[in-house]
Amino acid sequence: MNLGERVHMLRRRLGWTQRELAQAASINSNSLARIERSEIPDPGGQSVAKLARALETSADYLLGLTDDPTPREEAAHVGADAR
């Protein structure tokens, strides 16, 4: 799954429109649509970070570096609670 597919899947899971996610991430809605269609395969670090924050996931997940959509901070917190 590529970045655009992951963004699309998480956005749909939250029940948001593209416009809602674009507003939450402070990015242009046309750019978001192009990211989801993989017309912008490498949107840049700031955009990825904004999308990750808005989608409550990690940039690593969006970039395909992990298959765990749980944000790193939350995963660390959950691990600490299990101790």
**What are the boundaries of each domain within the chain?**
3-81
Question: What is the reported pLDDT for 76?
Answer: 46
Give pairs for 34-42: CB < 8 Å, separation 24+: 35/3, 35/4, 35/7, 36/4, 36/5, 36/7, 36/8, 36/11, 37/4, 38/2, 38/3, 38/4, 38/5, 40/4, 41/2, 41/3, 41/4
Question: What is the reported pLDDT for 71?
Answer: 77
Rounded mean pLDDT for each run of 10 residues along the chain, 83 residues in total? 96 97 97 96 94 96 91 52 43
Tokens of 7: 């963004």
Pick the CATH number of 3-81 from 3.40.50.980, 3.30.750.24, 3.20.10.10, 1.10.260.40: 1.10.260.40
pTM: 0.82
Q: How many residues in the chain?
A: 83
